[in-house]
């Protein structure tokens, strides 16, 4: 994976999400189901399984930016692939009309 000069990754595949959950302690505020604990994580899939990585406050900005760069690159690649498919189908249609 390409690394940036600041030491963070250039692109990251996944999503930044906030998880809300109970901790399981009987005396905790979260037992009421309303005041759940929140953690911001990077969620990604690997080998067909969902994985998460907890993010610190300092990591949020750089990780969100890296995820957005990945999505932008993925969208650009998808558009290029669609344009190639359209061109192929158009050339095949043109060949059929020329016969």
Q: Would you kindly state where each structural domain of the chain is located, as residue ranges?
A: 14-55, 57-99
* Distance between CA atoms of residues 17 and 46, nearest Å: 17
What is the model's pLDDT at position 1? 47
| Tens digits of pLDDT across the chain (99 residues) | 455 545 678 999 999 999 999 998 999 999 888 899 999 999 999 999 999 999 999 999 999 999 999 999 999 999 999 999 999 999 999 888 887
Which has the closest alpha carbon to 61: 26, 3, 16? 16
Token pair belonging to 14? 């996944």
Contact 66, 42 (CB under 8 A): no
- Count CB atoms within 10 A of the CB of residue 35: 12
What is the model's pLDDT at position 5? 47
What is the model's pLDDT at position 77? 97
Give the helix, strand, coil percentages of the chain, each rounded to 5: 45, 25, 30
């Amino acid at each position: 994976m390409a690394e940036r000069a600041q030491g963070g990754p250039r692109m990251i595949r996944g999503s930044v999400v906030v998880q809300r959950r109970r901790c399981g302690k009987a005396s905790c505020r979260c037992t009421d189901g309303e005041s759940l604990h929140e953690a911001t994580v990077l969620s990604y899939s690997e080998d067909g399984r969902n994985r998460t990585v907890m993010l610190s406050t300092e990591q949020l900005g750089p990780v969100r930016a890296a995820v957005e760069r990945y999505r932008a690159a993925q969208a650009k690649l998808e558009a290029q692939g669609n344009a190639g498919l359209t061109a192929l189908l158009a050339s095949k249609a043109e060949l059929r009309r020329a016969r």
